[in-house]
Amino acid sequence: MVPQPGLSTGRVVDAATAVADCGGLTAVSMRSVGKELGVEAMSLYHHVAGKDALLDALAESVFAQVELPGAGEPWRTAMTRRARSARSVLGAHPWAVGLIESRPVPGPSLLRHHDAVVACLVGNGFPMRLAAHAFSVLDAYVYGFVVTEQNLPFEEVGGEAEYAAGLSVEVAEYPHLVGMLGHLLGEPGYRFGDEFEYGLEIVLDGLQARLAAEVGR
């Protein structure tokens, strides 16, 4: 079979991304991606070996979009920039966290990404074990925050107050929860998404303190 003119691996992955964004990962198949591109599914096999390879390529495309630490960049600056970038990329694709966690074989973009993060931390004086801890806790924080944002029980940005107003919560039974909601939602312009930066600072402060304790910096 002659390859479809103008078709490329990049176009196939872009089409798969569009399908996943619309219908989730379960909607992704060679047939659905072919339909998105206006071609027969068989045409895709010139560019990806099958559905598993397509999902691997999707995971790779996610990591390729996240900003890498720069050579010689201070670790805190680099990890902040990376965390913000990862949140943005993962947040744009609700299926991404589950996909990248499920792929059994890491691709070159993922490996390059991880290597750059470790290089930044170790290059800034992190002992290897502390670098591993830092990598783990930063990813856990970012991934967890993204999943929480995606599963909030309201869709519109800034919908916290409207949602809380509709809750039937007895003050006598849950006084601390009601008090916290009242405090937060009483602040003008409160958005749950703004918690990301505050939480990230707490994580980074903790890592900075651990680094200082271990190496005297």
Mean pLDDT check: name the lowest of 25-29, 107-111, 179-183.
Answer: 179-183
- Are 20 and 75 within one domain? no
Domain that holds residue 115: 67-151+187-215
In a domain, 89, yes or no: yes
Answer yes or no: do 137 and 200 share one domain.
Answer: yes
Give yes or no: residues 113 and 194 share one domain.
yes
Shared domain check, 203 and 134: yes
* Domain match, 34 and 72 both: no
Helix axes 30-37, 9-23, angle to 10 degrees: 110
Total structural domains within the chain: 2
Do residues 35 and 136 share a domain? no
Residue 55 has pLDDT above 80, yes or no: yes
Residue 161 pLDDT:
59
- The answer to whether residues 91 and 18 belong to one domain is no
76 and 144 assigned to the same domain: yes
The separation between CA 88 and the C-alpha centre of its own chain, rounded to angstroms, equals 7
**Helix (H, G, I), strand (E, B), or coil: what is residue 70?**
coil
- The DSSP code for 217 is -
Residues 91 and 15 in one domain: no
Same domain, 43 and 145: no
List the CATH number of the domain containing 125.
Answer: 1.10.357.10
Percent of the chain scored above 70 by pLDDT?
86
Same domain, 89 and 196: yes
pLDDT at 104 (0 to 100): 86
pLDDT for 83-103, tens place per residue?
999 999 999 999 999 999 888
pLDDT tens digit string along 3-26? 455 799 999 999 999 999 999 999
15 within a domain of the structure (yes/no): yes
Predicted confidence (pLDDT) per residue in 94-150, tens digit = 999 999 988 888 889 999 999 999 999 999 999 999 999 999 999 999 999 999 888
Confidence of residue 155 (pLDDT cuts 50, 70, 90): low
In which band, very low, low, confident or very high, does the pLDDT at 183 lie, cut at 50, 70 and 90? confident
CA-derived radius of gyration, the chain: 21
What residue has token string 């707490």? 202
